[in-house]
Structure 1
Amino acid sequence: MTDLRFTCTGVRPEPYGAGPTLLFKLRVEEADHQPVHAVALRCQIRIEPAGRSYEPEEVGMLGDLFGEPSRWNSTLKPLQFAHTSVTVPGFTGSTEIDLPVPCTYDTEVASASYFRALSRGEVPLLLLFSGTVFTGRDGFRAEPVPWHKETSYRMPVDVWRNMIEQYFPNSGWLRVRLDVLDALRRYRSARALPSWERVFDELLATADAKADAKGAD
């Protein structure tokens, strides 16, 4: 059985992608130095939120994912980040490749909501591998990549933030139901507000004023 070993050595944003994409640098090694003709590699990437500590402002942004901090001992479960695949060209001994991972800024997606909540530090990731390796010194055979093959990596939060800023500078994405959107449109039209930012600013200011008035009572 071909013994492949995987190590993640770095990550960077794809500078010319059609959408936000991270490139994870993978080192792939064949332990017995058998010739590898190619690998059809699949990778599942999970976020391991229990693998780091959180600042108070981060805790306040993570309630929608993990609930009250008093429950975090039981609710900090792994989050799905990505499923991706790549073809590894032939090599003997070891090789390095880029593993492309498309990303989203849709905060309805748990991974994007988690990344957005972090202000600094690193994201604990677990990369789990599967697929098919094509090998053979005196012939050609196909073998599965065992499911237990995995590696850990701590991705700097700034890498994700810089990538999102590259594609969506100083902006975000919010999805609402159609009836809510229609109500917001009517609110904007009735007041001739020039932008959606003004709509939300007015609504938040009104909510704050009501909260202050209630507190004064």
Structure 2
Amino acid sequence: QTTSSALKGAIQLGITHTVGSLSTKPERDVLMQDFYVVESIFFPSEGSNLTPAHHYNDFRFKTYAPVAFRYFRELFGIRPDDYLYSLCNDPLIELSNSGASGSLFYVSSDDEFIIKTVQHKEAEFLQKLLPGYYMNLNQNPRTLLPKFYGLYCVQAGGKNIRIVVMNNLLPRSVRMHLKYDLKGSTYKRRASQKEREKVFPTFKDLDFMQDIPD
């Protein structure tokens, strides 16, 4: 099993390498094939001529559609240096997860970015969405769609852990009064009694309709 600290370390090493190597490549227009590129680099614990030595087990780091995501980050005003500094300069902070998906959530120490582990089918779906996402962003620069900054995979110990980097909509500096997890469905969409007893419970669709009927 990949421990949380090892996963966080592998994510930071991988992102540092992929963003650094991308900065040496000239900027150009995004082509259709860019959405389907997967770059892979092996990180042995003793280091290599391309990667630094580290204290974790050997792992492989995959970057999906690196040129396309570089374009998205630029479109959202995220400079490579800032992306690296936010994600890799200080340890990532693990969030306690209140969702049913079983995903792990990490936030950068400056609260700018959130990292979420995703299932294989979710990562695959996001990859297929990328050409349409690209079109939508170009036609609607002020879109309220989630801002995706990167899609990666850490392979270690026979496991694939896929992660997506997004904008953090709820920084800790924002005081939260009520929290709802809305899915647009009413089936089994009421917070359990156990959830309601928490200090900051996560309510659901039926609770929202009851609490805020207008």
**TM-score, normalization by structure 1:** 0.26
Q: Which has the larger radius of gyration?
A: 1
Greater RCO (CA < 8 Å, at least 6 residues apart): 1
